[in-house]
Structure 1
Amino acid sequence: MLKSFIPAFALVALAAAPAFAHVTLETQEAPVGATYKAVLRVPHGCEGSPTVRIRVQIPEGVIAVKPMPKPGWTLETVKGKYAASYDYYGTPTSEGVKEVVWSGGRLPDEFYDEFVFRGYLTAGLTPGAHLYFPVVQECEAGVDRWIEIPAEGKDADDYETPAPGLKLLPKR
């Protein structure tokens, strides 16, 4: 019986593995009212296919976003109006980057890489809450949408394709 249990357990473990291999943030906690360096970790392609484009949506309350250029990739930002005006070191700020796009590169499925940007977490965000950065990972064949935002009382582990999340800490 033990011999048949081990292969069955191995199959279950392998089938569950992709659920744990999603796009995440390297630092998953940060204080409001401060600059945050977001490092998106991309651990694989789309079912074996190389990643060729990463799009990240910037949530409301994150302003002054500046993405880091990546050699071999084209960098674009999509700008728009914020839902509110925010104070950015004494300057009222009501529009800015709403989405960051890295494209034109090629990240094979067997490799890992990171995509980086920084932004300011406005003081009006709620400490203790989670902020989510939906990511769409486009591959040569297929797309993975890491866009699920947990409902009240749930967390990212309850979802198959969760958006990378950041726990907001009190202002220092």
Structure 2
Amino acid sequence: MLRAYSVALAAMFCLAAPNLAFAHITFETATAPAGSTYKAVLRVPHGCAGSPTTSIRVQIPEGVRQAKPMPKAGWTLTVKKHKLAQPYDWYGTKVEEDVSEIDWSGGNLSDAFYDEFVFRAKLPEDEGKIIRFPVIQTCAQGQEKWIEIPANGQDDDSVESPAPGVKLGKKSSQDD
């Protein structure tokens, strides 16, 4: 009887284990052409140990340009900018500062529900590179830091709290 119970318990764990890999914040689309304008849809599947999510803050990595968030009803949207070491031209305008962080706060996303937070940005030209966007998820009680970056050759499951990433594919001729 004890053996049957142990086998049943092990089987339930094995069935549940694959779902644990999807418990982190990810992008809806994990690949995009290098140099393209990317619609980043951050998927938030849960709160913090049962506590509702009250803030999602995403860091925009170096080389990602012109990040523009989508407002979300019931949430306050804050955008932080930083001065660039190397200004760039954006359709005839010299850009000397760019977005470094986007923060949706003041909401109340129950742990029982799923939601998405969206922004657009121009991706770097580095074909084959994975660009990571560290995310801090703050809850009514607690916080999750999705900031770990797997080493080259490792997948997201090799770290406990992976930063969402997008792999840059072959540059599209439409983005020239």
Q: Same fold (TM over 0.5)?
A: yes
Structure 2: which 5+ residue stretches go unaligned? none
The aligned residue for residue 80 of structure 1 is 82
> C-alpha root-mean-square deviation of aligned residues, in Å?
1.8
Q: Residue 50 in 1 paired to residue 63 in 2? A: no
Given the two structures, how large is their TM-score scaled by the length of structure 1?
0.90
| Partner residue in 1 for 2:107 | 105
Q: How far apart are residue 6 of structure 1 and its match?
A: 1.7
CA drift of 1:150 comes to 1.1
Q: Output aligned runs, 1:2-41, within 5 Å.
A: 2-11=4-13, 13-14=15-16, 17-41=19-43
Determine the C-alpha separation between the residues in 2 that align with 1:33 and 1:100: 21
- Aligned residues of 1:51 and 1:139 also touching (Cα < 8 A): yes
Match of 1:137 in 2: 137
Contact persistence 1:86–1:122 (CA under 8 A): no
Q: Determine helix, strand or coil for the equivalent of 2:148.
A: coil
Larger Cα-atom Rg: 2
Aligned counterpart, 1:66: 68
Letter aligned with residue 71 of structure 2:
P
Query: Which consecutive unaligned segments of at least 5 residues does structure 1 have?
Result: none
Question: C-alpha displacement at 1:158, in angstroms?
Answer: 0.7
CA contact (8 A) 1:30 1:36 kept: yes
Tell me the CA shift for residue 9 of structure 1.
2.7
Counterpart residue number, 1:167 = 167
